[in-house]
Amino acid sequence: MTMALETPGLLSLAAGFTDNQTLPTSFVRDIVERLTSAADKEYLQYGTNQGRIGLRRVLAERIQRMELELDPGQLAESTLITNGSQQALYLAIQVLCDPGDIVLVDRPSYFVFLEMLTGLGVSARSIPVDSAGKVDRAVFGHLLDGMKASGDADRLRAVYFVSHFSNPSGRSLSDSEKTDIAEALRDRDMTVPVIEDAAYRELYFTAPFESQSILSAPAWRDFPKFYTSTLTKPFATGLKVGFGVCSDRDWLNKMLYAKGHHDFGTANFNQAVLEQALQTGAFDQELKVVRAAYLKKRDALHQALLEQKLDQRGWSWALPTGGLYLWLRAPEGIDTGLEGEFCRACIANGVVYVPGELCFGDEPSRNFVRLSYGVLGEAALQEAGRRFGQVAQRFTP
Ligand code: PMP
């Protein structure tokens, strides 16, 4: 970090921030104008601990449009509005786990969630994947059997995964992968609470990734479920409003109790702005704008890496169809970690990235890199890609 701060002109492919150019200033101006013209000033008062009922209803209808079999009334009742979905994730783990407990996570996984587990003294166990990065049901089964035999299964409290356009890998979990996870657990009587993090579900470029969430997929029927997502990434991160839908009343009540201690309610004003954005269609209009912008930015970074011929030097990456990240695999033997020479060389060359090693719950791989195309504009992304590529060339001549 010190090195990064001391390097003027450093381009960051690390930050998970969103695009500045497309932030919805005029929508927000109109909404604030409308809110402040109304006689009722409730939006400037404290709201409720669970969150605005109007916002919960409009979110419930939105989820129901994606998954028709769900009942919007019930969804609204089971929804908790949080200060970003980060808080929803924290609440979920806070009330489920004690130090020494275990949570199963996807591989790779969202590093801030993994960090949080560490902070709470909880250990992560990765759901095994094959060489293509797909859930490996057979190996997962062996892992669970081993946990049963060793007694670790008694400390297993939850399973967590990022389902759409993952941070960091950009991949989405197919219905069959999700079913494999559920069935492997269920077959062993391990129906632990499941957390689906769908933060990027709506941030696809041209078409949604079709899959059923845990809320409606039959394989998860017997599990306590918590589905989280956010209104920050698709609209404005500065508003910091997320939500979770919990199928289990007892779990939800515990989270509401803990939320009362955190803040007794997410900022009511921010919720009111987002409620209006959703109700008036501004949210969907903004989504159209950002989807097109991120697609262009993905391509700008991808092209820059191709121009440096990284693909011919043993580097590989899949092109995501949504989200904010490219997940690069370096040739075996290149250590992209924080302490490694590669990372230092990138910073010295004016570009910074997230080392992949941070994104593994256990047994970290050292040769991955997460590049974000969220913040920088196209020209800056090309330059950042060029700088990254120059270093990569040096390490893989
Ligand atoms: N989940 C994932 C996978 C994320 O990438 C993020 C943001 N980086 C979050 C949750 C939390 O986002 P927020 O608190 O802004 O809703």
Pairing relation of β-strands 102-105 and 79-82? Answer: unpaired
Nearest atom (ligand 1) to Cα of 89: 10
HSE (side-chain half, CA atoms, 13 Å) at 389: 20
Distance from the CA of 149 to the center of ligand 1, in angstroms?
A: 35
Nearest atom (ligand 1) to Cα of 240: 15
- What pLDDT is attached to residue 1? 59
Distance from the CA of 89 to the center of ligand 1, in angstroms?
A: 9
Please check the confidence at residue 6 and state whether its pLDDT lies above 80.
no
**Nearest-angstrom CA–CA distance, 184 and 187:** 5
Q: How confident is the model at residue 7 (pLDDT cuts 50, 70, 90)?
A: confident
Distance from the CA of 237 to the center of ligand 1, in angstroms?
A: 9
Residue type, 29: R
Nearest CA residue ID for atom 14, ligand 1: 84
Ligand 1 is surrounded, with C-beta below 6 A, by 16, 84-86, 110, 162, 167, 197, 199, 230, 232, 237, 240, 242
Tokens of 91: 């609440």
Please check the confidence at residue 386 and state whether its pLDDT lies above 90.
yes
Nearest CA residue ID for atom 11, ligand 1: 86
Q: Confirm whether pTM is higher than 0.95.
A: yes
**What length is written for the chain?**
397
Distance from the CA of 14 to the center of ligand 1, in angstroms?
A: 14
Nearest atom (ligand 1) to Cα of 241: 16
For the stretch 161-199, pLDDT in tens is 999 999 999 999 999 999 999 999 999 999 999 999 999
- What pLDDT is attached to residue 396? 87
Interval 229-240 mean pLDDT: 96
**Nearest-angstrom CA–CA distance, 369 and 301:** 14
User: Which range among 29-33, 63-67, 96-100 shows the weakest confidence by mean pLDDT?
Assistant: 63-67
Nearest CA residue ID for atom 9, ligand 1: 86
Distance from the CA of 205 to the center of ligand 1, in angstroms?
A: 18
Nearest CA residue ID for atom 5, ligand 1: 167
**Nearest-angstrom CA–CA distance, 274 and 58:** 10
